[in-house]
Structures are given as structure tokens and as C-alpha cells.
Structure 1
Amino acid sequence: MSHIKSAIAGTALLTAGVFMIPQAMAAQAATQGLYSADELMDAPVYLQSDPKNEAGEVENILLGDDMSVQAIVIETGDIGHDKNFVIEKGKFTVETTQDSSLEDTEYKVTVDLSEEQLNNQPEYTNDWWQDAKKQASTAWEKTKNGAESAWKNTREATSNLLDNASNAVDK
């Protein structure tokens, strides 16, 4: 009888875990806030190493297949040259000053790089764009195939647990 309880408990935990993952992700996303891409465009950009001097402004926002922000493109001009650099997510933060209306909300982007590191970031050009699209497509295909495989494995494991529970009850 303890085998039956163990199999049923394992199935319940596995099933609950599968169904709670999307809810946990949604709860996490809700705590990160909501930002307007339109308002973020042209926002001033500062380097963490020089937070008082504007290094440029947001020129573009790059999205992945899942529509999440993958990078921003900043146009520099105040640090000696006029170039567009790709800054990957994780290397910048966005701060807002909230007001009572969307139009009064101001955005400030801080890049976690020095001027030298910024100058070593990829330049936003057609060649970069074509290469990035190929790499993103390849990564998406690998991820998609891995996710499908993980779902099949989870489904098979759940089915096996249920079969084992049923066999234990029959004995």
C-alpha cells in the first residue's frame, strides 16, 4: 500500500510542478513592471562608470521570437563618435520616474560598461543584423526541439507513474 501512496504522491507532485511553472513565470514577470517601447525610444543612456554624462540615446529595441527584449541599440555621439552599438540584455538597466500619465514618465538607461567596453560592443550594421538573425534562428530551433523533448519525457514519466500506481492497486 505504501508503494501506491508513493506513486500517487509522486504523480501529484510532478503534475503540480508542470502546471505551476507557467504561473510562477507569470507572477515573476508581473513584478518586473511594464514599460512603453515608444517612451523608451530616444531615452538618454549613461555609462555606469560616468553616470553624470549622457553617452547617447536608445535608437532601437531588439526583440526575440518570444517577443522579449534581447538587446537595445544605442546611438552614441557625445563620446567622440557617432555609432550605433548593440547592448545585450543584462548589460543595461532602465529606470523610470513615474508621474500620473504615460506621457510624463521619463526613462533613463544605464549601461553596465565603461567607455572602452562600450566601444568594443558589436556595431549595429546590416552584417551584424544578418548574422544575428541566423544565430537567433538556430538557437530557437535547438531550444524548441529541446522543449518538445522535455515535454515528451515529462509526459512519459507521468504516464509511467500512473501505470505503476495502477499496477500496484491491481496487485
Structure 2
Amino acid sequence: MLLNKNSGNKAPSKARLSTLAAALLAAGMSLAATAQADLQGLYSADELLDADVYTSADGSKSIGEVEDILLDDNMQVHAVVIETGNLLDLGEKQYVIETGNFSVETMNSNNLDDLEYRIVVNLNEQDITEQPAYTDTWWNDARKRAQNAWEKTKEGASSAWDNTREATADVLERAEEALKPSGDKAETK
């Protein structure tokens, strides 16, 4: 699922906002704000889109803004897409920054009209330019990789279940045999 500020829908549905808020919290995004240092518990997707982006090395110079928020099948944040209009004079380019490589700072969290976020990327400018570009090719490849990973997980879980079921059946048969009186054991052989 994809939340995109260019989708034409200015007001994300309550379900989308609730899902994203839960996903952001579940994804373990760290929160280190000058105005609020504690976990907030609820985040606004609308305000995260277009939030200014900074590097951890230079928190005073914005390198771009959040263009998109990418969610996985579990509705957890997989990545943010940042548009880097000011990054290394390369012009506007969009990069995929995976969860774990950024944090969210919250300002004015007590007032919905003034709520504001800053995204701090834990990569230097050179490392950011080495992140995947947000293109149709990346999108299609990432979806295929995620689907393949899910299929492998599902196959592994199925195989583990089959092995567990077989082992349990063997143990139960041996336990049943052990519990039979010795005369019954001779008759079954």
C-alpha cells in the first residue's frame, strides 16, 4: 500500500491515518524532538508527507522533503521516499530510505494546526545518493522481492508445521505403545 501526496486525495481516510499511525509506532521509529523527546504514540501521515528532511550530520540544512511513505503487507512502514531538491546540486531526485535509516522529530504536538515533523536521515549525503532511486523499475522489483520473501516464509512455515506434526505423531504412537500393558504389546506385534 502506498500513501502519495500526489494522489489527488487531499484528506487521507481515517482508516489510512489510523493504520499509518499504528504502523509508525510498530515499526519502532525513534523520536528525538527538540519540542518533544518522548514517544508520541500517534503520528499524522498528512503532516509526515512534505516534512523537511535533514541529515544527522547537519540538522540546520534541509536536503529535501518526504515525498511518499511506503508500507509493507503488514501495514508497517518499509521506507520513506525523499525528494532531494537541495542534495549535492544534483537536482530533484527521489531516494528510498528504509526504516532504521531515519528518525522523526515532532514539534508542536499539542496543537493539530501547528503539528510539524522533521525527518532526520542517519546517512551522509553521499550515502543517500547511493540509496535506490524511486522509479517504476525499483517499485516493481521491490514488490517482486517482497512477494518472493513472503512465499519462502510461507513455504518454510508449512514445512516446519509438517515436520512438527510428523514428529508429534511419532511421539504419540510411542507413548501409546509404552502405556499398553505388556500382554497387549505382544498381541500387536
TM-score with structure 2 setting the length? 0.63
SS of residue matched to 1:95: strand
Pick which of 74-83 and 139-148 moved more.
139-148
User: Following the alignment from structure 2 to structure 1, what is the Cα–Cα distance between the partners of residues 173 and 72?
Assistant: 40
CA offset digits 1:74-112 (Å, max 9, x no partner): 001122121000111111111223532444322111111
Q: Which residue of the partner structure matches residue 35 of structure 1?
A: 43
* Structure index of larger Rg: 2
Does 2:111 correspond to 1:120? Answer: no
Residues 66-85 of structure 1 aligned to structure 2 (within 5 Å): 66-79=74-87, 80=89, 81-85=91-95
Match of 2:71 among 59, 63, 69: 63
User: Following the alignment from structure 1 to structure 2, what is the Cα–Cα distance between the partners of residues 166 and 95?
Assistant: 61
TM-score with structure 1 setting the length? 0.69
SS of residue matched to 1:104: coil
Q: 1:163 to 1:57 in 2, by over 3 A?
A: farther
**Greater relative CO, 1 or 2 (CA 8 Å, sep 6+):** 1
Question: Which structure's residues are more often helix, by fraction?
Answer: 1
Match of 2:114 among 98, 104, 120: 104
Match of 1:136 among 146, 163, 179: 146
The alignment-based identity, stated in percent, is 53
SS of residue matched to 1:108: strand
Gap regions ≥5 residues in structure 2: 1-24, 30-40, 182-189
Question: Which structure's residues are more often strand, by fraction?
Answer: 1
Confirm or deny: 8 A CA contact 2:26 2:76 kept in the other structure.
no
Following TM superposition, by how much is the alpha carbon of 1:37 offset from its aligned partner in structure 2, in angstroms?
Answer: 1.8
| Equivalent residue letter for 2:74 | D
SS of residue matched to 1:51: coil
| Equivalent residue letter for 1:106 | E
Q: 1:92 to 1:153 in 2, by over 3 A?
A: farther
Does 2:57 correspond to 1:49? Answer: yes
